[in-house]
Amino acid sequence: MSGWAVMWARRLPVMATYVAMFAALAILFVPLAVVAASLDLRWSQPWTLTRTLVFFLWYLACELAGVAASLAIWLASLLVPGFGRESFLAQNFALQHWWARMLGRGGFRIFDIRLELDDGGYRFGQRPVLLFVRHASTADTILAALAISVPHGTRLRYVLKRELLWDPCLDIVGNRLPNAFVHRDEAHTADDVAMVASLARGLGPRDGVLIYPEGSRFSPAKKDRIVARLREQGREEAAREAESLRHVLRPRSGGPLALLEAAPDADVLFLAHTGFEGSASFDRFFNGGLIHRTVHARIRAVRAEDVPKDEAARREWMMAEWRLVDDFVNQHRLPDLEGKS
């Protein structure tokens, strides 16, 4: 099958499934809400099941609204005179921002989440940025949008795992924009690094690239596996570095270094945060891991001229910066949310 055929063979059944789930949930919402509320009262929960039910309905509504809007943009590109490539990209970036804003703010209200953000006074829009984000859960993508894209109009290009192509909006709009959906296995490393590097080319002052240097969300078990693998490979110094980190994984070097090389004039931002760990697994999410949480986040900016130019120095610098991320998480973390998977 061609790439186009494979893409639509994935999209059509997924979109049909989302429509069916939304219709079923909307029709059954009242009786389901009564059952959920009854169980919440019986178990003396903070409306955990009820909030979760409302959120899933909201999520599906945002997805379908996003798909409908993406169809409208596509039709406009065909029918409206003068609707060129730049207009097409601008409208899809606007849709990406709208979807993240609606989903994020809705989720924050439903689960009573509070965001405390320290942006360090960084002035966006003057230079392109490379955004290195701690990975705790899928909600990290929403955090970056709410903290940077929406308030400052920054057009972020994302490096995301390929599994997220099963999300209709991320699939359709994400593939229209300059994003990279990468594999998480080592067999595709070289191709994926090249694809990531391509995102950093042609960045304007209001553009940026977001990457998760860890490559996977943190858990103590994953940290132990990484340390053991590095020792098996005879990389004792790297193993000690990974072992010294308490709440983050040792950053991978391929993607971040490729971005630094491809965009030497971009400022580098490190987004440290904690509080989303309650959505790192379905078990913790369904047990109210996000309810009444405060998400602490900090943006630490490093000017382009202060980033080391030598690769070896960049590796050491990256590790030093990531220790600061670890320190921030250690200062604000909630011990009951640390995962074991």
pLDDT in tens, 134-172: 998 877 879 999 999 999 999 999 999 999 999 999 999
> Which parts of the chain fold into alpha helices (H)?
3-27, 29-42, 48-79, 85-111, 140-144, 150-152, 168-176, 189-199, 220-232, 236-244, 254-262, 282-286, 311-332
| Cα 11 from chain centroid (whole Å) | 21
Tokens of 148: 């940077």
Q: Which amino acid is at 191?
A: D
Q: Where does the pLDDT of residue 336 fall: very low under 50, low under 70, confident under 90, or very high at 90 and above?
A: low
The confidence score (pLDDT) of residue 213 equals 95
Q: Give the phi and the psi of residue 155 in degrees, each rounded to 5.
A: -95, 95
Rounded to whole angstroms, the Cα distance separating 103 from 135 reads: 19
Tokens of 122: 């960084």
Q: Where does the pLDDT of residue 261 fall: very low under 50, low under 70, confident under 90, or very high at 90 and above?
A: very high
The confidence score (pLDDT) of residue 341 equals 46
* Residue 75 pLDDT greater than 80, yes or no: yes
Q: Average pLDDT of 296-300? A: 97
The answer to whether the CB of 310 falls within 8 A of the CB of 303 is: no
The residue behind tokens 């606007």 is 94
Give the tens place of pLDDT for each residue, 13-45.
999 999 999 999 999 999 999 999 999 999 988
Rounded to whole angstroms, the Cα distance separating 127 from 246 reads: 33
* Residue 339 pLDDT greater than 60, yes or no: no
CA proximity to 110, closest of 66, 169, 47, 63: 47
In terms of DSSP bridges, do strands 155-161 and 294-302 run parallel, antiparallel, or are they unpaired? unpaired
Q: Where does the pLDDT of residue 1 fall: very low under 50, low under 70, confident under 90, or very high at 90 and above?
A: low
Give the tens place of pLDDT for each residue, 177-225.
999 999 877 656 888 999 999 999 999 999 999 999 999 889 899 999 9
Give the tens place of pLDDT for each residue, 214-225.
998 898 999 999
In terms of DSSP bridges, do strands 155-161 and 207-211 run parallel, antiparallel, or are they unpaired? parallel
The confidence score (pLDDT) of residue 46 equals 93
Q: What pTM was computed for the model?
A: 0.92
The confidence score (pLDDT) of residue 334 equals 72
What one-character DSSP code corresponds to residue 335? G
Helix (H) / strand (E) element for 278: namely: none
Helix (H) / strand (E) element for 203: namely: none
* Residue 338 pLDDT greater than 80, yes or no: no
Rounded to whole angstroms, the Cα distance separating 22 from 88 reads: 28
| Per-position DSSP letters for 257-270, written without gaps between them | HHHHHH-TTSEEEE
The confidence score (pLDDT) of residue 340 equals 47
Give the tens place of pLDDT for each residue, 272-296.
999 998 887 778 888 888 999 999 9
Give the tens place of pLDDT for each residue, 123-137.
999 999 999 999 988
pLDDT above 90 covers a percentage of the chain that reads 82
* Residue 122 pLDDT greater than 50, yes or no: yes
The confidence score (pLDDT) of residue 262 equals 96
Domains and CATH numbers, the chain: 3-337 (3.40.1130)
More confident: 337 or 206: 206
